[in-house]
Structure 1
Amino acid sequence: MASTPTTEGLVAWPADLAARYREAGYWKDEPLTAPIWRMAEQRPDRIALIDGDTRIGYAEMCRRADALGARLRELGFEADDRVVVQLPNTWEFVVFVLGCLRAGVIPVMALPAHRRHELEYLAEHSEAVALVVPDTLRDFDHQGLAAAIRDAVPSVRDLIVLGDAREGAIDLRELCEPPAAGVEPAAALEALAVSPDAVAVFLLSGGTTGLPKLIPRSHNDYRYNAEAANEVAGFDEETVYLVTLPASHNFPLACPGLLGALLAGGTVVMLQSPEPSRAFAMIEAHGVTHVAAVPAIVQRWIDHEEAERTGRLSSLQVLQVGGSRLVDELAARVRPVLGATLQQVFGMAEGLLNMTGLDDPDDVIIGTQGRPVSPGDRVRIVDENGDPVPVGGRGVLHTEGPYTLRGYYRAPEHNRRSFAPDGWYITGDIVELREDGNLVVQGRDKDLINRGGEKISGEEVENLLYRHPGIEMNAAVAVPDPDLGERVCVYATLREGHRIELDDLRGLMRDAGVAAYKLPEVLVIVEDMPLTKIGKIDKKALREDLAGRGALRPGTTHYPAGR
């Protein structure tokens, strides 16, 4: 009998919807990992994970994950304990996450780019008992930062390190070792009977009002998320899926992602860089069939292949692109240059996932972001008054369905703004619904800047910049960028006697321990800040001003003439 999961801070699924999703077969009422462990029994030697020279079969992967889960229990980790996971794309990431799922421990999916500002908040808000980090990555001392956060956050007890674990830290690779001879941890973990309604992972929201919110994804809904995506993406036992985006993102994790590939019995190849020559070499070496990317990566791959004519992509069948809107001109070049079918993916960590079909006509694949992957998904498009928009019109997308959250974790005020009175999630995306059921993303209603697929809260940037004594008013808006889609542009008015350059603001945010991708890249100083009738900064007016200035180079500061 499944254990009863903790519900504090969570918004429950309405009983009638939960019953409907079970009756329809969307929710299987078993742990997310169950099909993967069945595959380990049926095809034990089939390769599940590839990471550099490391190749791990299904049976070995599951034995390592079970051993890790049992060791976590021996170390005092209990069901519903939270652990902040900040790991690069390695096989240890996969084994650790699977081991947590088996033991009922909940990973909180941080990004490698996060720094103290984000990580300390995640640890505090989730009441995490541990941080899981690399020792160093790209010359940054993650282990040292994690130790400082452990000292600052009372709930954090343990520090688990991939690499050279210092005194007082736990070695992740030792946790990932197979069980000792004669030890069979699987039975003990299965006896825990992790509830399929329990939270499997906490994902992070894009965060329009400061720091990201925690998104609870249950075993039932997140498994269905991946399996529904599998059907549309064509994942099966022959799939070889390359992970180049940060694996803790929802897109490469479960859309269908690495979890989808494992649920289908395929092979997952881990790579820490999307750099074209490295990615192309991995695609050729391992016969990669599917890969997920963001538009900035697609541009680099197309440019590289056009210039080098590598001929290394013959195995690649499907290139999934999401994270931000792929412009039609670039979409049209995918198949001619890379030789793969483009699959547009428009989803969100909160749930709803839309994809174009592999057999869709070119006008759908190139010009739309697809349609919901599940017949249980419900969408509506509304105007600024909340009234329905007819087919072909533009409006804000609302949704509910068998894998879309009902509320953020411990965020009642934010939930009141993010959900309609009938419980539908207000995505904040401006979309057009075509007559054929496909969606075309037109922009954002929410105050988010989308830099290469990483969502940045304008409010978070603004609140940090008000720490500068020379800032009177400031507003962060998106400046269009041909490579990343958008970058952060800050408009500011200054207090008398002050002069500020872009580097001053970037330094302030670095000192605050903020992830580098959130730092402003253009600064515009103005004499007066435009305001709405109710006294708020008028960001629409700022965007219009920005459009009239032409292309502003990253790394530049712009003062009014004569200053």
Structure 2
Amino acid sequence: MASMLDGCPTWPEVFVDRYWAAGHWRGYTLDNLLRDWALRYGPRTALVQGDARLTYAGLNRRVDRMAAGFRLRGLRPGQRVVVQLPNVAEFVVTVFALMRVGVVPVFCSLAHRGPVVSHLVRVTEATGYVGPSTYRGFDHTAMVADIATQGPFLRRVFTYEAPGTASPYGGFSTDPSGCHYFPLGSLDSPPGPPLALSADQVALFLLSDEADEATGAGEPAGAGGPGDRGKAGAQPRLVPRTHNDYAYQARAAAELVSLTQDDVYLAALPAESAFAFGCPGIVGTLSVGGAVVLVEDPEPAACLRAVERERVTVTSVTPAVARRWLDALPTAGADVSSLRLVQVGGGEPVDRATALRIGDELGCRPQQVFAMAEGLVTLTRPTDPDETVLATQGRPLSPDDEIRLVDGDGGEVPDGESGELLVRGPYTPRGYFRDPEENARSFTRDGRFRTRLLARRTPDGSLVLTGRLDGGAEETA
């Protein structure tokens, strides 16, 4: 399988054939799927942000016109653009518009600062950046202006302004390094003919989970200090996700949780996170004609009010966020009776006490989910016994997820004993982007990803995460 980008390891042909034959990969790009969803669900509400609503037909039109604006301002197929936006409708529109141009969005948490953003620009040779001019006291435009002087790549910056605010940078401008600045809202041009894009090409880049853990970027935007992220820990590795593999992941997750067009999904975690974007998250909800509610304010009271106002049925939270919601519920006074499913986990197991509180206090069934940017998703099933939901991270999403638990010598450990979790499958890439040394460490010769997580298998095939190779093997669930 040919890759669009040099430096992206690919699946061997035997696995490509297997995943096509199984129906996992279907040859649709994500932006073409959006066209199909717009035809199917046109007048239904796709996105909600505060008082603003956007239908499926309206979303597709905005994506078309923004994509034309990107083309008009010089973006070309195969280029990369760093996207660093809050939980606003423009995040979804921008990501799909870039993909419609054949440009690969590089998802970046708002918590990251100059060192990480500069690293992403350098490794991906990103020609563009989309982000707020300033956000919560931090000057993003000044940051990227400095990055633009450091190399020949970054030459187009598209600045997002909240509705009703004006850019302090005065719209269109060019700096001494030759970098051009455009208001994101100015990208509104008549669409041209659609491009012919291949679904085996890279659709988007996610950042490795270990980097988010080192910097705290996995928490909701605004949950910590505004200027202390992205300075410490490992630089993030770039995870290339193709249209085929990501569409499969979101579709399979949507089917597993029985999402329908009557569901309303609350994106309370950062929209660019692996958990919120596609497990099933934003993409999975759109695939069935449901509504996605985006909340920019991560505070529990704001999220709980959004649940009541929009009659949210499904959401996903980390264990820490779940505890904050539960602690705030008595004083928030919000009616959360519409919730039918709260996915909890993401990159860590949820403790039994928190899972029990979700059922008792939110009045709905919790679902344990473990999700990695590198691909593996495990979930408890709606029909699982309570003890499985409380004590395990569930079973792999796909029947073609090949799981091994191994000891230090690479031998299989018996069921019930902990070993390192290795995986390969139809939505687990075969390597990081342009990082051959790390790929040699993180992937086995037969293409399995070394998660560096310790896990044991229960008799029903569920996995229990028990620790990390670099953090000891103490029980964590």
Q: TM-score, normalised by structure 2?
A: 0.89
Match of 1:138 in 2: 136
Question: Secondary structure at 1:45's aligned position in 2?
Answer: coil
User: 1 CA distance for matches of 2:449 and 2:331?
Assistant: 45
Cα 1:364–1:202 change in 2 (3 A) is: same
Aligned position for 1:205: 208
User: How many residues are treated as equivalent by the alignment?
Assistant: 440
Contact 1:65 1:98 in 2 (8 A): yes
Output aligned runs, 1:154-553, within 5 Å: 154-163=152-161, 164=167, 166=169, 167-168=173-174, 169-175=181-187, 177=188, 179=189, 183-185=190-192, 188-189=193-194, 192-207=195-210, 210-305=234-329, 307-308=330-331, 310-322=333-345, 323-446=347-470
1:115 equivalent in alignment to 2:113? yes
CA–CA separation in structure 1 for the residues paired with 2:300 and 2:108: 25
> How far apart, CA to CA, are the structure 1 residues paired with 2:456 and 2:182?
50
The structural deviation recorded for 1:123 is: 0.5
Deviation at 1:311, TM superposition (A): 4.8
Q: Distance in 1 between matches of 2:445 and 2:319?
A: 35
For residues 4 and 195 of structure 1, do their structure 2 counterparts lie closer, same or farther at Cα, with a shift above 3 Å needed? farther
Q: Which runs of 5+ in 1 are unaligned?
A: 448-476, 486-563
Query: Aligned equivalents of 1:65 and 1:317: distance in 2?
Result: 31
**Equivalent residue letter for 1:388:** E
| Contact in 1 for aligned 2:466/2:474 (Cα 8 Å) | no
Q: Deviations along 1:225-268, whole A, 9 cap, x unmatched?
A: 11111112222211111111111111101111101111111111
* Contact 1:355 1:370 (8 Å CA) reproduced: yes
Q: Per-residue displacement from partner, 1:261-311 (whole Å, max 9, x unpaired)?
A: 111111111112331211111111111111111111111111122x33725
SS at match of 1:397: strand
Give the drift of 1:478: 13
Alpha-carbon distance between aligned partners in 1 of 2:31 and 2:399, rounded to the nearest angstrom:
24
Identity of aligned residues (%): 40
Runs of 4+ in 1 over 6 A off after TM superposition: 477-480
C-alpha distance in structure 1 between counterparts of 2:297 and 2:348, whole Å: 19
Between structure 1 and structure 2, the one with the greater Rg is 1
Q: Secondary structure at the match of 1:247?
A: coil
The Cα shift of 1:479 comes to 13
CA drift at 1:39 = 2.1
Greater length-normalized contact order (CA 8 Å, ≥ 6 residues apart)? 2
Q: Following the alignment from structure 1 to structure 2, what is the Cα–Cα distance between the partners of residues 125 and 4?
A: 21
Q: Distance in 2 between matches of 1:79 and 1:91?
A: 23
Q: Which residue identity does 1:194 align to in structure 2?
A: L
Instruction: Report the Cα offset of residue 135 of structure 1.
Output: 1.5
Which secondary structure state, in structure 1, belongs to the residue aligned with residue 14 of structure 2? Answer: helix
Q: Give 1:558's aligned residue.
A: none
Counterpart for residue 41 of structure 1: 39
User: What RMSD in Å do the two structures reach over aligned CA positions?
Assistant: 2.0
Q: Deviations over 1:493-551 (max 9, x none)?
A: xxxxxxxxxxxxxxxxxxxxxxxxxxxxxxxxxxxxxxxxxxxxxxxxxxxxxxxxxxx
CA distance in 1, matches of 2:326, 2:41: 37
Q: Gapped runs of 5+ residues in structure 2?
A: 162-166, 175-180, 212-232
Q: SS at the partner of 1:224?
A: helix
Counterpart-to-counterpart distance in 1, 2:151 and 2:288: 39
1:478–1:127 distance in 2 versus 1, CA, 3 Å: farther
Q: C-alpha distance in 1, partners of 2:301/2:398?
A: 36
1:526 corresponds to which residue?
Answer: none
CA distance in 2, matches of 1:196, 1:281: 39
- The aligned amino acid for 2:277 is L
**TM superposition shift of 1:158:** 0.6
Q: Is the CA contact 1:92–1:173 (under 8 Å) kept in the aligned structure 2?
A: no
Whether the 8 Å contact between 2:237 and 2:432 is mirrored in structure 1 is yes
> Counterpart amino acid of 2:344?
V
* Superposed CA offset, 1:407-455 (max 9, x none): 10000010000011211111111001111011111111146xxxxxxxx
Amino acid across the alignment from 2:401: D
